Amino acid sequence: MRIRSAFALAAGAAAVLAFSAPAQATVNIGNVDITVTDIASGNSYYLFQNVSVLQAAQICQVNVDVITATLLRGDSAKCSNKTNNHQQAWIKKH
């Protein structure tokens, strides 16, 4: 009886460990820059330099996950809140 109980306990513990969720990987983009390009002249300048992704998301009113996924692909994320008919704004890796 004790052997069966010990075996059942060991099997249960192994099952719990086998089906537990893996730890989430942390993605670290680092700091980013928000740049603005004047459409007429083509001149670019920094609106914000060396800000966190969370701050850039709040400034640009864009989801943090969208910015992170775009930057991980190697692209620049569009800062739609600062883009208008005269300028385009982008979030780029620092």
Q: Which CA distances in Å does 8 have to 4, 20, 42? A: 6, 18, 71
- Residue pLDDT, tens place only, 76-87: 999 999 999 999
Residue 75 lies in a domain: yes
Question: Sorting pLDDT into bands at 50, 70 and 90, what band is 20?
Answer: low
Neighbours of 48 (CB within 10 A): 19
Whether the per-residue pLDDT at 62 is higher than 80: the answer is yes
Q: Which residue range is the domain that position 49 belongs to?
A: 29-94
Provide the domain count of the chain.
Answer: 1
Residue 69 lies in a domain: yes
Residue 3 lies in a domain: no
Residue 24 lies in a domain: no
- What is the DSSP code string of 1-15? -HHHHHHHHHHHHHH
Residue 5 lies in a domain: no
3-state secondary structure of 51: strand
